[in-house]
Amino acid sequence: MKRTKRTLIALVVVAVVLVAAVLVLVLPDQVSGGEEAASSSSTGSTLYEYASEDLESLAVTNENGTFTIVPDAEATAEAQEKADEAAASAGSSTAASTVTTEFMVEELSGLPQNQTAVNLAAKDGYVFATVKTVTETDDLASYGLSADDPAATLTATFTDGTVKTLYVGTQTPLDSSSRYVREDGSNVVYAANVTETLLGPVTGFVDTGITDYTASEDDNAEGVSAASSPFVKIDIQNQNGTLSLSRSGESQPWSVNGLPASGDAVSTLSASLASMTAQDVIQIDPSDEDLSTYGLSDPAARVSMTTTGGETTTLLIGGTNEDGQYYARLDGGRLVYTLSSSGTSWLSDDEMSLRCLTFLNDDVSAVQSFKMTGGASYDFEVTRTEEASSSTEDQTSYSYSVTLNGTELSDYLNFTTFYDTAQDLQILEDAGDAAPGGTPAWTITLTGYDASLSHTYQFYASGDRRYLVVVDGTVFGLMNTADFTALTDAAAALAE
């Protein structure tokens, strides 16, 4: 028993010694001297505090270079105007209080800036609070706070002529979000939370938004899904060739390389292009050598977008970095971005991924005649009669009847079910170089109550299990013959 007790005591002593050794190595300022340890305080303090409008400039120097944050008079005026309008709309009889000053990075003039990031960094210039006082010492280098080699130097100049300079050192060992800081001319070391962008390159203040377009509220055409597109033309050059998407205007369907496009596919594409955000901005005003390094002097892909207002923007895509992100740049732009591979499906899209694969897309209520000829003949003729009792001033109601080869079907629903089968027909693959030859195996002729609705669909044998589909004289693609047989079987069943 005594032996066990002595062993436990020895282990405790060893543990205490080890903890003491670690503290000596990790926190020398807090345990190595009675005078320094006594000066440490767990209470934070405010080194200085001014109003935002009092800050004239905040000059920042770090390992990445130098930049200066200054008031943005135009942005501040806009913010004040919005605040006043909000107060007025709320019925307030007094004007809105003065807004906090908005700031900008002087060296980024003419470039889109992240206002939130700039304002947050500027606040360290006019209000600086510490987490705690660490020590007072002549050994400033141990904290990365020697005047000739700090992590960053912040020099705030105020409208009353006061200048405050802070040195930012290394991270504190037990809290990576804090850093050692000290004021110029003082040996008192503090721990403080410093806005991270003040320690990075000036590009950290550039807005990472690449595009930001809004779709027209009137853009709800058939062929374009509910998530409408702000574009009338999109041209893509990628590893699969050239894709040219266009429409004749708002409220018009899309085509890709002259063939009908999928509304859903175009909607997804448009959404990804209309609001693109970069991972990072990595360079401003790249040289020709820089562009070559990024693969942007001879881009691997490009996409041009023309809006409904006629504005055209072209995005160039270069190589990738070690994280698999693409280097990107707006044609003629000053910035080089990194772009995540997610949300960039257009880099690998091909024509078929954007095509509308179905071809009988007119609504059944618009169809007056549907004729199939080939191995047999099936002639559907639809008659519609206005129903005055259920019609309104805005919308006419009809009842329908249909004949097949001269014999009236018992129910119009039989025809609509058959027509659903026709609308399910779709191509499986692009026709490539295939061209129609000889007599089509089947021909469908469709006309509508509106004289503009008239289509001819021809189906040519292409091998044992494919039909080459030709729509109104244009080769559309290849479909499975078995799918078409399902349609002829349905017609034959109705004709019995």
pLDDT of residue 331: 97
pLDDT of residue 110: 93
Give the mean pLDDT of the chain. 89
Handedness of CA 255, 256, 262, 264 (dihedral sign): negative
Picking from 176, 190, 154, 170, the residue whose alpha carbon sits closest to that of residue 55 is: 154
pLDDT of residue 28: 42
37 confidence band (pLDDT: 50, 70, 90): very low
| 214 phi/psi in degrees, rounded to 5 | -115, 135
pLDDT of residue 94: 61
Note the pTM of the prediction, 2 decimals.
Answer: 0.79
The answer, yes or no, to whether residue 96 has pLDDT greater than 90, is: no
pLDDT of residue 12: 47
Task: Please say whether the beta carbons of 456 and 442 come within 8 A.
Answer: no
| 299 phi/psi in degrees, rounded to 5 | -60, 145
Average pLDDT over residues 167-176: 93
Handedness of CA 119, 125, 127, 130 (dihedral sign): positive
Task: Please say whether the beta carbons of 466 and 449 come within 8 A.
Answer: no
What percentage of the chain has pLDDT greater than the value 70?
88
Task: Please say whether the beta carbons of 400 and 381 come within 8 A.
Answer: no
The answer, yes or no, to whether residue 418 has pLDDT greater than 80, is: yes
The H or E element spanning position 233 is strand 231-238
* Residue 490: strand, helix, or coil: helix
Average pLDDT over residues 170-191: 94
N- to C-terminal Cα separation, the chain: 103
The answer, yes or no, to whether residue 5 has pLDDT greater than 50, is: no
Average pLDDT over residues 86-94: 73
- Per-residue model confidence as pLDDT tens digits over 206-225: 999 999 997 654 444 433 34
Measured distance CA(329)–CA(208) in Å, rounded: 12
The answer, yes or no, to whether residue 306 has pLDDT greater than 50, is: yes
- Per-residue model confidence as pLDDT tens digits over 442-470: 999 999 999 999 999 999 999 889 999 99
pLDDT of residue 254: 95
120 confidence band (pLDDT: 50, 70, 90): very high
